[in-house]
Structure 1
Amino acid sequence: MTPKQLLIVAHAPSPNTRKLAEAALRGARHPDIEQVETRWVPPLEAQPQDVLQADAIILGTTENLGYMSGALKDFFDRCYYPVLEEKQGLPCALYIRAGMDGTGTRRAVESIVTGLRWNWVQAPLTLRGDWQDAFEQQVEELGMYMAAGLDNAVF
């Protein structure tokens, strides 16, 4: 049986945001998940081919001036049209590391995902305010949830 592919495209410009991306990976690679391969590709390195090979995607971004990171926006700019027709229905999830409220960031990503016709598997996770160690656990659970859903053909 060919393993499913979970792609994490997450902007991680600081030690704390790197912890979040690593937490998503750790959750997705839980030992009970057997038929899912997960990899993290920074948005500036991610290519349309990465998305075309994915069976599900987790997006991660910082809140930058009330918007998604420029790196994630660049990813969408480069990948939108090359994957538009091929990946409709792609299961996706989002986490936002927001110093403020994350509303503008969420709205911007939701707009693009709607255009791509990807399917949200849960509401975006917004990690608001000052850093909390609990953020890592929340993102780890998100990674595990996505991978387990793929592993069990839930989506």
Structure 2
Amino acid sequence: MESKKKLLVVAHAPSPNTRALRDAVAQGAGHEDIENVEVTVLAPLEAGPDDVLACDAIILGTTENLGYMSGALKDFFDRSYYPCLEKTQGLPFTYYIRAGHDGTGTQRAIESITTGLRWKVVQQPLLCRGEFQTDFVAQCEELGLSVAASLDAGII
């Protein structure tokens, strides 16, 4: 029997709206038609290098805080960067940002760190900008579904 592929979701979700986005990613990734993917959802302060080393793909989620990623996600990267640097090159990933403004500073920061790690973007990142919209939830669900289905099908 083939072992399940592991999709890690590391998402900072300090509010009901951001928890809804994180939960939507997990719901999409856990769709009943996806049979060979195990989804693990962790807060950035609970996740670490061992979780990254054990996964086959990762979805990151963060709020935009003062034009940057959340401190919790930055802490995750600080603790995981060097232990993962030489061991996770090519790791398939994507991310979503809940941005009250434009999200570009947050996006640049994530791209800078993941470029250094040599991770591979496999899905267009999702920027949920401006006032919260219920469409953000459906978009996050689609993001989770797309990555998990690609992992399940062996595309990534």
C-alpha separation between the residues in 1 aligned to 2:123 and 2:56? Answer: 16
5+ long unaligned stretches in structure 1: none
CA distance in 1, matches of 2:27, 2:35: 14
Displacement after TM superposition at 1:135 (Å) = 0.2
Cα contact 2:6–2:37 (8 A) shared by 1: yes
* 1:47 positional shift: 1.3
Unaligned 5+ residue runs, structure 2?
A: none
Deviations 1:101-145 (A, max 9, x none): 000000000000000000001221100000100000000000000
Please give the per-residue CA displacement for 1:46-105, whole angstroms capped at 9, x wherever unaligned.
011000000000000000000000000000000000011111000000100000000000
Q: Matched residues, percent identical? A: 65
Partner of 1:137: 138
With normalisation by structure 1, the TM-score equals: 0.99
> Residue in 1 aligned with 2:36?
35
Give distance in 1, aligned partners of 2:146 and 2:57.
Answer: 11
- C-alpha deviation, 1:41, in angstroms: 0.5
> Post-superposition, which runs of at least 4 consecutive aligned residues in structure 1 deviate over 6 A?
none
CA displacement 1:5-24 (0-9 Å, x = unmatched): 00000000000000011000
Corresponding residue number in structure 2 for 1:5: 6
